[in-house]
Amino acid sequence: MNDYQLIVIGAGPGGYTAALRAAKLGLKTAVVEAREAGGTCLNRGCVPTKTLLHSSEAYKAATASAGIGVHVEGARADMGEIFAYKRHISQTLSQGVESLLKGAKVPLLHGRAQITAPHAVRVTASDGTAADYTADNILVATGSVPARPPIPGLDLPGVMTSDELLEGADHLYQSIIIIGGGVIGVEFATFYAELGCAVTVIEGMDRLLPNMDRELGQNLALILKKQNVQVFTSSMVKNVEKTADGFTVNFTTKDAPNAASGEAVLCAIGRKPYCEDLFADGLAPEMNGKSLKVDGRYQTSVEGVYAIGDVSSRIQLAHVAAAQGVACVEMLCGVEDHTNMDVVPSCIYCRPEIAVVGITDAEAKEQGIPVKVGKCVMGANARTLIADPGRSFMKVVAHAESGEILGAQLMCPNATDMISQLGEAIANHMTARQLLLAMRPHPTFEEALSDALNDLCAKLAK
């Protein structure tokens, strides 16, 4: 008889959520974690980044409020205190995860896990002592780590990834160069710009947020430029050099030489799955590029070993990992009805916020799907006029023949809190007309969704 029915490797959102669900379903479960409970999301990713953005938003509100009749004298941003607040939030949530596991009678085994054979895990503690455990099934939820492409100079001391940046700084940088205009890059650009730091963003593709609707990235670039952020797109970094005052990043913009200098450099080019030394020699799972290859039930090629989240998924989001973890555990227990994995919301906490779900009209065109798009530019929306967040809009994509909602792109305050209703509509095959039946309160940002849906229904009727 094995020690456990399930051993989960990794206590991030995917791992701890899966473990809690497994325990509730009656499986004897343990979790292995080499670092803090909560994983990257709670300690080095989503939550600390959003905590920093909360601080920078408060600072900007305090220092840029004269136009609405509020005058604040002597406001200052204390980086030591900002990062201390960030650590407090992460530690509180991490301790909360530990309490949840303890309450569910799920042991948290501290150490680095290695799968030594099917159904066998060795846990090596920080002092070098090791213990071996067996399990009916093993669930890998080891997540991802920041990627460092082989660009000369990216390994220089002081060139940071998000992990190093989130450890904190004792002062506010006067200037920072951010390599990468994806989600991580634009969120940190927002944070530093709101604190008054000179920010430069360098992106290799033709727009910011290149994997999203074109208008989102283009609109964000305009807003950032109004905040004195220098944005270079279609720009490829050649190297990074150390200087007396900081760093110089050399790059080409449409093949023309260019350079930017700053006190600090953040490499925000993306993340890669983390499975280093996870499997013992002679135990080689099938890979899908750098990710663990899994089937429709999250099983790897190694007997009894499953994988969820960033380590095996092309979509690296905490809520995806959590949903996959629950689905995997439920399937092991014979439950087949889960969250729809084809409807994934994505959120970016820039200003204004961005939230998307489903497909864009461009993606629909590539797939040969006839669509209509309803849109509302929110200049006349009362809450938008009051808050003045910059150009905001909502777009809703529907099948041109059935009217079924297929996607939505929101760029406005509170977008991240509103996107779920569009996800629900897609998951339940609702039409634009059906979603329009719901009354939306005034004055809210959400009113603009009714305007976008009305525009969409008018186009569908033609």
Residue range 145-198, pLDDT digits in tens: 999 999 999 999 999 999 999 999 889 999 999 999 999 999 999 999 999 999
pLDDT for position 247: 98
pLDDT for position 170: 84
pLDDT for position 349: 97
Structural element, H or E, at residue 193: helix 183-194
Give yes or no for a contact between 150 and 20, defined as CB atoms under 8 angstroms apart.
no
Active site residues: 442
**DSSP secondary-structure letter at 71?**
-
Q: What is the pLDDT of residues 1-22, one digit of tens each?
A: 899 999 999 999 999 999 999 9
**Tokens describing residue 420:** 């779920």
CB hemisphere CA count around 412 (13 angstroms): 30
**Tokens describing residue 459:** 């186009």
Structural element, H or E, at residue 9: strand 4-9
**Tokens describing residue 397:** 């994509």
- R_g of the chain, CA atoms, integer Å: 24
Query: Which position has the token pair 């797109």?
Result: 233
Look up the pTM and report it: 0.95
**Tokens describing residue 32:** 């292995």
pLDDT for position 338: 85
Give yes or no for a contact between 329 and 139, defined as CB atoms under 8 angstroms apart.
yes
**DSSP secondary-structure letter at 404?**
B
Q: Which residues pair with 179 in a beta bridge?
A: 202, 267
What is the rounded CA–CA span in Å between residue 191 and residue 49? 9
Give yes or no for a contact between 435 and 374, defined as CB atoms under 8 angstroms apart.
no
Low-confidence stretches of the chain (pLDDT < 50) are none
pLDDT for position 169: 86
